[in-house]
Amino acid sequence: MSVTEAPIDGAAFCADLVRSHDFVRYASTLFVPAAERRSLLALYAFNAEVSRVHEHVSQPLPGEIRLQWWTDMLGGTEHGGVEGNPVAAELLQAIRKHRLPVSALSRLVEAHQFDLYNDPMPSMAALEGCLADTASALFSLAARVMARPSDEIDHLARHAGLAQGMAQVIAALPRDAARHQLFLPLQLLQEHGGSMEAVFARKQTPEIGAAVGQLAREAQIHLDTALTLLADVPPAARRVFLPLAYVRRDLVRATQTANDPFVPKPASRLRVLWTLWRAARTKHFGG
């Protein structure tokens, strides 16, 4: 007698995926109503899948194929398999329910093609453009789940994404250097007398420290702006910006004098929950 496989619970699958690979965003969803939480987790699971493609391939072509699948799925031209992909199924449901712009999701996929190659991030302008299509777009899309879209929310999302994305570049420097990938802008590094080779050798030098410090200061400017702009958006939408509370903590550590940018600093889940719980109770985030 054949055994029939139980259907995959798409919502639970997305929740597990985000909890495993993006705990800060997962924790932020604990402070929103259950109905909206499911859609947020679908978005964040999609982001986790797409942003980690480069970690699962050793050559660009297989990565391009995986990203193309998502592009085709969003364009409605996938070649089967959506029903068997719980993240895709949940994402499509969220798109329909909240009228999420497919164009923004497609640009997010396209932006991650850069991750597949070993070309260094050339400049701050290039990094900001990439983050606008990824981290900033994700904040904007998540806010649409909670409130009507507006110019004020998009303006906030831009600064929030730049702050978070720059902080993540700093946090991921040990891992990326080991993979011989450089997301710290090469122009910024060279302005301080640093080199790509020194980064890949994971040497703590004053030049690399200065470049990391400048990136952290740029991120802090965007974070301060985002926290100010929170007052201009509906309280319900503010909850999706809770990850900014942990960005603030990351940037404080990054700018400490004794900080070694090549020493991984894993986030304690308890610390993440405590930080976001405290932030959720403040007027900044709709508490």
Question: Are 191 and 167 spatial neighbours (Cβ–Cβ below 8 Å)?
Answer: no
Domains and CATH numbers, the chain: 9-116 (no CATH), 118-287 (1.10.600.10)
Higher pLDDT among residues 252 and 71, named by residue:
71
The predicted structure's pLDDT at residue 285:
87
Encoded tokens for 226: 């985002």
Question: Are 220 and 227 spatial neighbours (Cβ–Cβ below 8 Å)?
Answer: no
Query: With pLDDT > 70 as the criterion, what percentage of the chain qualifies?
Result: 94
Residue 185 has pLDDT above 90, yes or no: yes
The predicted structure's pLDDT at residue 1:
35
Residue 4 has pLDDT above 50, yes or no: no
Query: What distances in angstroms separate CA 222 from CA 157, 214, 270, 285, one per listed residue?
Result: 10, 13, 26, 17
Backbone angles phi, psi at 56, to 5 degrees: -105, 0
Give helix then strand counts, H and E, for the chain.
16, 0
The model's pLDDT over 47-58, given as tens digits with 9 standing for 90+, comes to 999 999 988 888
The model's pLDDT over 18-34, given as tens digits with 9 standing for 90+, comes to 999 999 999 999 999 99
Residue 79: pLDDT band with limits 50, 70, 90: low
Backbone angles phi, psi at 198, to 5 degrees: -65, -35
Residue 110: pLDDT band with limits 50, 70, 90: very high
Encoded tokens for 23: 């705990």
Backbone angles phi, psi at 207, to 5 degrees: -65, -45
Encoded tokens for 22: 């993006």
Encoded tokens for 264: 């991984």
* Amino acid, res. 94: A
The distance of Cα 55 from the centroid of its chain, to the nearest Å, equals: 15
Q: What is the pTM of this model?
A: 0.93
Residue 84 has pLDDT above 50, yes or no: yes
Interacting residues of 101 by C-beta distance below 8 A, sequence separation 6+:
141
Report the alpha-carbon distance of residue 211 to residue 217 in Å, rounded. 10
The predicted structure's pLDDT at residue 287:
59
Report the alpha-carbon distance of residue 51 to residue 183 in Å, rounded. 14
The predicted structure's pLDDT at residue 127:
98
- Produce one character per residue of 77-90: b if its CB has 16 or more CB atoms within 10 Å, e if not: ebeeebeebbbbbb
Report the alpha-carbon distance of residue 184 to residue 176 in Å, rounded. 10
Compute the average pLDDT of residues 162-189: 95
The predicted structure's pLDDT at residue 57:
86
Interacting residues of 224 by C-beta distance below 8 A, sequence separation 6+:
none
The predicted structure's pLDDT at residue 3:
42
Q: What is the mean pLDDT of the chain?
A: 91
SS percent in the chain: helix, strand, coil, step 5: 70, 0, 30
The predicted structure's pLDDT at residue 81:
61
Compute the average pLDDT of residues 123-137: 98
Residue 6 has pLDDT above 60, yes or no: no
Question: Are 181 and 118 spatial neighbours (Cβ–Cβ below 8 Å)?
Answer: yes
The model's pLDDT over 231-265, given as tens digits with 9 standing for 90+, comes to 999 999 999 999 999 998 889 887 776 678 888 88
Compute the average pLDDT of residues 169-195: 94
